Amino acid sequence: MAKRTALAQAVDDISEAVPHLIRLPERKVWIDYDEEADVLYISLKRPQKATDTKLLADKGILLRYRDKDLVGVTVLDASRPRKKTRGKNSRRSV
């Protein structure tokens, strides 16, 4: 069997993500990936101007809020597989 091309794998990955993407709270999102830092930034509002951050330490994810509205998600170590277990969360002001 021939090796899958990177493009074919990307199309499959995007297809699998669609059900999750259409459930986002906003219709427009901006996605930026910093390869050097291995951080994925997902902005739900532009500009974000977050006033608070909730750390999901077990998942390496920061939820960025402006007042009570989710305005962004930051995924640390984005290229590593995600844990599916639930753990303690912490909240800190920014």
pLDDT digit string (tens) for the chain, length 94 residues: 456 788 998 899 999 999 988 998 888 999 999 999 999 999 999 888 999 999 999 999 999 999 999 999 999 999 998 766 544 444 444 4
User: Which pTM value belongs to this model?
Assistant: 0.74
- Cβ neighbours for 39, distance < 8 A, ≥ 6 positions apart: 33, 74, 75, 76, 77, 78
Q: 92: left (phi > 0), else alpha (psi -120 to 50), else beta?
A: beta
Domain boundaries defined on the chain:
27-80
The residue among 83, 82, 75 whose CA lies nearest residue 39 is 75
State how beta strands 69-75 and 61-66 pair. antiparallel
Q: What is the pLDDT of residue 3?
A: 66
